[in-house]
Amino acid sequence: MLTPCCVPELPAPQAQDTWLHRLIFVDLETTGAALGRDRITEIGLVWYSADHGWQAASSLVNPGIRIPSNISQLTGISNEMVAAAPAFSKLYNAVQTLLQDRVIVAHNVRFDYGFLSRELARCDQVLGQRHLCTVRLSRLLQPEFDKHNLATLVQRWQLRLDNHHRALDDAMALAQLWGHWQQRFGYDCLAAQVSKAIREVHLPPQLNLQDLNQLPDGPGVYFFYGDNDSLLYIGKSIELRTRVFSHFSDALHNSKEAQIVQQTKRIDYTACAGDLGAQLLESRLIKQHQPLYNRQLRRKKALFSWQLNADPDGYLTPALVPFDSIPIEQAHHCYGLFSKAADALKALEGICKKKQLCSIKVGLEQRHGPCFRYQLNQCDGACCGEESAERFNMRLKLALSSLEIAWWPFDGVLSVYEHHTSTNQHQWHMLYQWRYLGSYDVIPEPAMLFALANQTPFDVDSYKILQRLLPGLRPSQVQVIPLPSPEPDSGPTR
């Protein structure tokens, strides 16, 4: 258990050091670096108080999951060692008492703060404290150095560290580092850099911690509302509560975040079963509700794409067309999704130059006879009959292949299942021709899916989300639902 004990080997602080009384040096060991999957295996805390001097507390933690062998080799913490250790739920009261009213100091504090925040969220508590990163502080104090990892700082400052990657030893090294920094740079300089590096969490006065405690720390989409319940911002996260709190921390250093937080009067959310559902729902809702601060995703983009048409001699020529005009079943014969015609032309020019394609045949140059690139030996001669249509067409398609719109590989609607164990939320996401038809507790009837497939427009952001996330799905998560006949004649409205 976390029982404080004295640490006589650490030097007494300088008399003018008022910061030290507000700091607590923290280090965690975990089963890995994935915040959504891994858990804490050890916690170490070191702090100074006027009454008791330097104190420390540490405990192994039973993570509830197995520690991978490579992590055990790194930390020296085995599954056998944590088997009899308390779960974090048994320690959180003591942890919160020790952290109370202090600034959390850690090396790469986002890692430690994130894991602490997640574990406290499982105990229905919120970690809303100021935090300070010693990596960031080291860079501010000594920008002439490139490396600021703990092992490097141990050598640079001759710190005592008996067991690197054990929580208490690493936390004590940070306490030593604080003392060395004071001696080298002076307290006033150190305090000035701390003021730049510290991250604070300030709640808007109209919100209270109790309300925020009700936010789940699982996947979901959250909503910030301002005066007259106007929608200011929509966001998503697999750690919803932690992400909301990050807005309050970032507000001190980011003008846009500060504007959002200052205007926020109410926060709401929609829980999701996983990252896929949260990303798709966020993209749809931003376009539907047009929040004030979601400028990047809120506008529906007019898209252009390249189609290949044969000229009288059989050479394929790219033609720029509005993507809305292309039937959905022919989309995989198109190349690129561009919001501006100028961007499409720039991309084609770059490909033409790199692959030595004829600028006349690709439509970038209007003239008779050899193209300009041919005279520079940068064209294989399609413009003057030296390169056959068959060879040119093959090279053109190969050059454009990186831009090709993906073919929908399923014969019907793809139903993707997501389940989140902590919240017990489950959903079926309905997808067709790279379009998001919605999420449901049970799979809809085929007739309803047929109607949705004909009503749902193509959205480039949903397309990109699915391109990125579908390859990582497990076979057990997906099933294909055939649409009823007859198939639509001209494809759904975009």
What is the number of other CB atoms lying within 10 angstroms of the CB of residue 268?
A: 12
**CA dist., res. 307 & res. 323, Å (int):** 10
Name which residue leads in pLDDT, 215 or 126: 215
Quick one: average pLDDT of 445-461? 91
**CA dist., res. 279 & res. 296, Å (int):** 14
Read off φ and ψ for residue 457, nearest 5 degrees. Answer: -75, 160
Place of tokens 């529906």: 300
The set of residues, in sequence order, having a beta carbon less than 8 Å from that of 436 and lying 6+ positions away, is 280, 283, 284, 429, 430, 456, 459, 462, 466
Quick one: average pLDDT of 110-122? 84
Mean pLDDT of the chain: 90
Say if residue 258's pLDDT is above 60: yes
Summarize pLDDT for 478-493 with one digit per residue, the tens. Answer: 999 998 765 544 444 4
Class for the domain spanning 5-197: alpha beta
Q: How confident is the model at residue 310 (pLDDT cuts 50, 70, 90)?
A: very high
pLDDT at position 491 is: 46
State the greatest distance between any 2 C-alpha atoms of the chain, in Å, as a whole number.
92
Q: How confident is the model at residue 300 (pLDDT cuts 50, 70, 90)?
A: low
What is the number of other CB atoms lying within 10 angstroms of the CB of residue 372?
A: 14
pLDDT at position 492 is: 44
Say if residue 494's pLDDT is above 60: no
E strands of 32-181, at which residues? 40-49, 53-60, 103-106, 131-133
What is the number of other CB atoms lying within 10 angstroms of the CB of residue 9?
A: 9
SS3 463: helix
Question: How far is the CA of 430 from the CAs of 273, 277, 433, 440, 466, in angstroms?
Answer: 14, 10, 10, 8, 12
Summarize pLDDT for 161-180 with one digit per residue, the tens. Answer: 989 999 999 999 999 999 99
Q: Which pTM does this prediction carry?
A: 0.64
The CATH label, of 3.20.20.70, 3.40.1440.10, 3.40.50.12280, 3.40.50.12780, for the domain at 209-297 is: 3.40.1440.10
**CA neighbours closer than 13 Å in the CB half-sphere of residue 73:** 3
Residue range(s) of every CATH 3.40.1440.10 domain in the chain: 209-297
pLDDT at position 252 is: 59
Read off φ and ψ for residue 89, nearest 5 degrees. Answer: -60, -25
Residue range(s) of every CATH 3.30.420.10 domain in the chain: 5-197
Say if residue 181's pLDDT is above 60: yes
Long-range contacts of 207-214 (CB under 8 A, 24+ apart): 207/264, 207/265, 207/266, 207/267, 209/126, 209/128, 211/267, 212/126, 212/128, 212/241, 212/244, 212/245, 212/267, 213/124, 213/125, 213/126
Label residue 381 exposed, middle or buried (CB < 10 Å: 0-12, 13-18, 19+).
middle
pLDDT at position 301 is: 65
Place of tokens 């690139």: 373
pLDDT at position 327 is: 85
